[in-house]
Amino acid sequence: MNDASWIDATGAAMWALVERYTGQVGYKRGTKASGLNDHPPVIDCSGWTALLLSEGMAAANRKAGRLLFSDADVAAVHTWSDRLIENLERRSGFIVTGDHITVAELPPFATIGLQQGGGTWAKNHPRPRGITHVVQVVHCPGDHAPYVSEAQRMAEPYGLRLLPLAEWIAGTQDNLKPGMAWAVAPFAG
């Protein structure tokens, strides 16, 4: 994917979803994109990240006028947070871990998986690396400022929220330790 002309289209597609749904959608564990049709609309972290990534991949394919991301690539992001990180790492061969997750070290549109516990449900469903939360880096069109978009229930406001990347990193320092956090490059490969 040496021709990067599709990057702006990818970013615009993801940002359009962020603008449409941020602050409008609640959080519900285990609920994927179909939850956006519920009243009130709900989604979980991996459902939201999968939607952002699959829309970004589709936009990249349209802009490039060829298949950059196959149906298998898109299907690989429609899974739980731990598998999503694992699948993207396998495809791209790229990963940043722990305290190396910084504004300077992250690739554009990084997907970040975190070990955040999760309570009883997480103990009943063991996960590789213990990842129980995933977030997506998006960029504001125009100035390309990086933000984190996430569906979460750990901090207010609950549901879909958007934070500047530097602010999110500062607020997540306790989880950005070796063996607790992993970032991958979903559009590399």
Answer yes or no: are the C-beta atoms of 35 and 41 closer than 8 Å: yes
Six token digits for residue 168:
């999110």
Q: Max Cα separation, the chain?
A: 46
189 falls within a domain: no
* pLDDT surpassing 70 at residue 178: yes
Whether residue 30 is contained in a domain is answered as yes
Q: How confident is the model at residue 1 (pLDDT cuts 50, 70, 90)?
A: very low
Beta-strand relationship, 181-184 and 111-114: antiparallel
- 155/38: higher pLDDT: 38
Could you give the CA distance from residue 67 to residue 60 in angstroms, rounded to a whole number? Answer: 8
Confidence label for 33 from pLDDT (cuts 50, 70 and 90): very high
Average pLDDT over residues 113-140: 76
Question: Average pLDDT in the 137-147 region?
Answer: 94
Q: In the predicted model, is pLDDT for residue 134 greater than 90?
A: yes
The number of folded domains in the chain is 1
Higher pLDDT, 151 or 154: 151
In-domain check, residue 1: no
In angstroms, the Cα distances linking 66 to 12, 61, 69, 75, 76 are: 18, 6, 9, 18, 19
Q: Give the chain's mean pLDDT.
A: 90
What count of Cα atoms within 13 Å lies in the side-chain half-sphere of residue 93? 1
> Above 50 in pLDDT, residue 2?
no
Q: Are 188 and 7 in contact (CB under 8 A)?
A: no
Tens digit of each residue's pLDDT (9 = 90 or more) over 78-117: 998 999 999 999 999 999 999 999 999 999 899 999 987 6
Residue 2 forms part of a structural domain:
no
Residues of the domain holding 61: 7-184
Q: Give 125's pLDDT tier (boundaries 50, 70, 90).
A: low
In the chain, pLDDT over 90 holds for what percent of residues?
78
| Total Cβ atoms within 10 A of residue 124 | 8
Among 4-8, 31-35, 105-109, 159-163, which is the least confidently predicted range? 4-8
Helices (H) and strands (E) in the chain, counts: 6, 8
Residue 138, Ramachandran bin (φ over 0: left; ψ between -120 and 50: alpha; else beta): beta
- Model pLDDT for residues 52-85, shown as the tens digit of each residue: 999 999 999 999 999 999 999 999 999 989 999 9
Whether the per-residue pLDDT at 121 is higher than 80: the answer is no
Whether residue 18 is predicted with pLDDT greater than 90 in this model: the reply is: yes
Residue 162 is assigned to a structural domain of this protein? yes
Residue 125 is assigned to a structural domain of this protein = yes
Torsions phi, psi of 115, nearest 5?
-90, 110
Residue 60 in domain: yes
